[in-house]
Amino acid sequence: MRITPQTIRKAARMSPNILRLLPAARTLDEAKTELRWIQADHPDPTPKKIARACYERGRFSTPLQYVIGNQPFGSLNIDCRKNVLIPRSETEEWACHLSNLLKTLARRNKDMRLVDLCTGTGCIALQMATLPLALVAGIDVSSDALNLAEHNEKLNQTSLRADKVIFEQLDILDPKNDAKIAALHPTIITANPPYVSHEVDAAQAVKKHEPKLAVFGGNEFYEAIARITNNSGAQALVTEVGYLDQANYTQSLLPKDWSSIVFKDFSDRPRAVFAWKNGTPFDILGESEGGGFRLVDSF
C-alpha cells in the first residue's frame, strides 16, 4: 500500500516517532499503536532509545519483538534476540491448549517427562515447565537459541514448577543423536520445526531478519521427529505444522498403534498434529473441545 504525501505530512505533525514508524506500519493508526507498544515495553524507555527503536523498526522493518526485546507467551514473558525465531501467537495457542490438557495427566503421573525439539527461545518447553513435570528438556542445534532459552528459564524461574529443566545442543536430523534423546526417557515430545518451503514467498520481515535455519525446512524434519518419537519410547507427540499436507505426512509416519488429530488455529488453518499411543492416558489429546481444537483428519 502506497503512503500518500498527505499521510506523511500528518504523521510529521503528530510526532517524529510516528513518522519514523510509518514506513513499516503503513497507516497512522498502526504507527500510533506500535509507538504505544514500544513506549510501554522497551527496556530503556528514554527518548533517545525510543527514537532509535522507532527508526530501526521503520527504516529496516525490524520485527517489533526484536525492537522491544520480548514477547508474551502464555503465562510467561519471553525475551527475543536476533538469530532466534520469534514466538508466534499460533504456536502459543496450541502450546497453551496442550498445557491445559496435560494438567490432569501431570497430577496422575508424577514422572512425566517432556522433550521439546527445535526449542528456539524455549517458549514451548518453559510453558510446559509451568506444570509439575519430572523433567522438561529443550533441544536445538543453534547455540544462540540455547543461550537465549537458558536466559528465558532464569527470567521466568518463579513461574516454573517442573522438577528439572535442561537445554541441550543436538541436531535432530542426525540419527546418531537419537540415543541421547532416548536417554532422557521422554513421555511426550513436542516440536516446532522449520517448515516453510524455500519456494514460499515468506514475509519480508521474516526473510530479512529471522534465522533461515529456524524458518525454512520440510519433510526431513517431520521424518526425524517421528523417528525420534518412535526410538525414544515416548507415548505422545505434538508438533507444529504449516500446511495440511505436512500434517497428513506426519500422521502417515506414526506407528500403526497410534492415533492422531490435527489442531486448527484461530485462523482456521492446520497448525499442529496431536498424536498418542493407543491405550495410554494420552488419548486425552484427542478431546476436541475449546481452544480452536477441531478434528480435521484422523488415522
CB 247 within 8 A of CB 262: yes
Interhelix angle 5-14/16-25, rounded to 10 degrees, is: 140
How far is C-alpha 115 from the chain's CA centre? 14
Regarding whether 109 and 231 lie in a shared domain, the answer is: yes
Domain that holds residue 273: 81-286
Q: Give the residue from 191, 193, 278, 279 showing the smallest Cα distance to 237.
A: 191
Structural domain ending residue among the three candidates 41, 68, 95: 68
Q: Read off the pLDDT of residues 70-86 as tens digits, 9 standing for 90 and up.
A: 999 999 999 999 889 99
- Total domains, the chain: 2
Sequence-distant (≥ 6) Cβ neighbours of residue 115 within 8 angstroms: 136, 137, 138, 139, 181, 184, 186, 188, 189, 190, 232, 234
Q: What is the CATH number of the domain that holds 226?
A: 3.40.50.150
Task: Tell me what pLDDT residue 196 has.
Answer: 59
Regarding whether 19 and 115 lie in a shared domain, the answer is: no
Task: Tell me what pLDDT residue 299 has.
Answer: 32
How far is C-alpha 168 from the chain's CA centre? 17
Q: How confident is the model at residue 1 (pLDDT cuts 50, 70, 90)?
A: low
Regarding whether 94 and 221 lie in a shared domain, the answer is: yes
Structural domain ending residue among the three candidates 68, 93, 115: 68
Strand partners, 270: 264
Regarding whether 52 and 100 lie in a shared domain, the answer is: no
Least confidently predicted of 212-216, 242-246, 256-260? 212-216
Sequence-distant (≥ 6) Cβ neighbours of residue 127 within 8 angstroms: 73, 74, 75, 76, 92, 95, 96, 99
Structural domain ending residue among the three candidates 13, 45, 68: 68
Regarding whether 93 and 42 lie in a shared domain, the answer is: no
Does a structural domain hold residue 74?
Answer: no
Regarding whether 250 and 145 lie in a shared domain, the answer is: yes
Q: How confident is the model at residue 115 (pLDDT cuts 50, 70, 90)?
A: very high
**Taking 60 as the threshold, does the pLDDT of residue 293 lie above it?**
no
Does a structural domain hold residue 299?
Answer: no
Regarding whether 88 and 57 lie in a shared domain, the answer is: no
Regarding whether 99 and 63 lie in a shared domain, the answer is: no
Regarding whether 119 and 149 lie in a shared domain, the answer is: yes
Encoded amino acid at 41, one letter? D
Does a structural domain hold residue 179?
Answer: yes
Regarding whether 202 and 150 lie in a shared domain, the answer is: yes
Does a structural domain hold residue 293?
Answer: no
% pLDDT > 90, the chain: 72
Task: Tell me what pLDDT residue 273 has.
Answer: 95
% pLDDT > 70, the chain: 88
